[in-house]
Amino acid sequence: MEVAIKAINLTKRYGNFTAVDHVNFEVYYGEIFGFLGPNGAGKTTTIKMLTTVTRPTEGTAIVNGYDVIKQPAKVRESIGVVPQEYTADEDLTGWENLMLIAALYGIPKREAKERAAELLDLVELSYAADRKVETYSGGMRRRLEIAMGLINRPAILFLDEPTLGLDAQTRAAIWDYVYRLRKQYGMTIFMTTHYLEEADRYAERIAIIDHGKILAIGTPKELKEKVGGDVITIEVNGGDVNIARKVIEGIDGVSGGVTVNGNTIIFKVRNGNTAAPIILEALNKLSIRATSITIKEPTMDEVFLEFTGRRLRDEEGSSEEFMRFRRTVARARR
């Protein structure tokens, strides 16, 4: 697979403080890559360096084949960015904002109009196109921001906390748009989030970042396997539980101890879905019948705990961040 983004020892220091610390990763064309980490982890700083807004203190990154330090203009032409904050000009209408951004990319007027109409339709904002952005709701503004990020048909789209401060329903809707857009335009998407469940559900690969360092990279499945895989609980009926236990201990992929509790056997296995049939067959040969079996994947929460040594609570993180966001908005409006 070809590499869309390659970060090489990417580092940003603010004075003595290292916000992003020698980060290395690759993002492939066509995938949705997620940066997962708590507030202050360095997600936004990484995006700012990848999108040429901030210059790396050390290291560099190749985006769509161009070096962010040496060829920033080329990078900017290749990417679309939906920053963490709202960036539309509140005094202009949604339509005017799109046309402005289109002009900055050098898109001819006629084509810009076609694209703007198409994008507004896609994010279901056509009805509000001629309204000033200051009258938009939070969800509408996010959708407009996404449309603005797509006006230049970017090869790579950067989304910095695209669902921040939105209610659950709107969040789901935003992801729906993102998936539709990717299907329509075949983009690579680099997104950040501090919502565990969003990273798990929507990103194809995840990098866990904390204190400016990447602690793990992989598909959600791989990360869960690294934690020790799935937990399988089997209840057996008839036959010897202890023989069953011996059989299970001998199966490839089973790790850690196997616990027996009455008729119930509990153990960890790297991949529960493939291990389960093998185990059942082995037990069957010895005439041990299983009456029930459950396979439980570890949650992203457990994955995060494993790699960072602390929990990332969705609720606390989001409400705190949202209040900060609200305060900024309020300050700006004053």
Partner 1 sequence: MATRLHPLHGLWALTNRELAKWYKVPVILIISLIQPIVWLAFFGKSMNFAAMFTSGLNIPGLNIPKQVIDEIASEVLKANFGTTDYFSFLAVGMLSFITLFTSLQSGMSIVWDRRLGGVLSKLLTTPVPRGNIIMAKVLNSMIRSLVQSTIVLIIAILLGMRLNPSLNPLDILGAYAALALMSMGFASLFVTLALRSTSWESQMAIMNLLNMPLMFASNSFYPVKSMPWWLKPVAIVNPLTYVNDINRQLLLGITGGQSLLLDYAYLIAFAVIFSVIGIVLSWRYLSEA
Ligand X SMILES: Nc1ncnc2c1ncn2[C@@H]1O[C@H](COP(=O)(O)OP(=O)(O)O)[C@@H](O)[C@H]1O
Strand partners, 189: 32, 157
Question: How many of the other CB atoms lie within 10 Å of CB of 280?
Answer: 15
Nearest to 41 by CA among 57, 54, 55, 23: 23
- Answer yes or no whether residue 81 interacts with partner 1 by CB under 8 A: yes
CB 98 within 8 A of CB 151: yes
User: Cβ(296)–Cβ(269) under 8 Å?
Assistant: no
Q: Does 91 bind partner 1 (CB under 8 A)?
A: yes
User: Residue 84, Cα to own-chain centre: how many angstroms?
Assistant: 14
Q: Please pick, from the candidates 3, 8, 28, 39, the single residue that binds ligand X as defined by CB under 6 A.
A: 39
Segment interacting with ligand X (CB under 6 A) among 39-47, 65-73, 257-265, 303-311: 39-47
Closest contact distance (angstroms) between CB of 44 and Mg ion is 3
Judged by CB under 6 A, the stretch of 2-10, 33-41, 136-144, 249-257 that binds ligand X is 33-41
Q: How far is the CB of 214 from partner 1 (least distance, A)?
A: 23
CA distance linking residue 13 with residue 58, whole number of Å: 9
Q: Is 40 in the site for ligand X (CB under 6 A)?
A: yes
- Is the Cβ–Cβ distance between 126 and 173 less than 8 Å? no
The one among 34, 37, 59, 154 contacting ligand X by CB under 6 A: 37
Residues 154-213 that bind ligand X (CB under 6 A): none
**Residue type for position 59:** G
Partner touching 19 among Mg ion, ligand X, partner 1, none, CB below 5 to 8 Å by kind: ligand X
Return the residue of 13, 29, 30, 53 that touches partner 1, per CB under 8 A: 53
Answer with the entry of Mg ion, partner 1, ligand X, none that 234 interacts with (C-beta below 5 to 8 A by kind): none
By CB under 8 A, is residue 328 in contact with partner 1? yes
Beta carbon of residue 14, minimum distance to ligand X (angstroms, whole number): 3
Figure out which of the listed residues 8, 22, 24, 92 binds partner 1, where binding follows CB under 8 A: 92
Interface of this chain with ligand X, residues 42 to 71, rule: CB under 6 A: 42-45
CB-based contact 60:98 (threshold 8 Å): no
Give pairs for 171-177: CB < 8 Å, separation 24+. 171/195, 171/198, 173/139, 174/139, 174/142, 174/143, 174/146, 175/201, 175/202, 177/122, 177/123, 177/143, 177/146
Q: Which is nearer to Mg ion, 53 or 260 (CB)?
A: 53
**x/- site string to partner 1, residues 193 to 212, per CB under 8 A?**
--------------------
Residue 87 found at the interface with partner 1 (CB under 8 A): yes
CA distance 44 to 35: 10
From ligand X, Mg ion, partner 1, none, which one binds at residue 328 (CB under 5 to 8 Å depending on kind)? partner 1
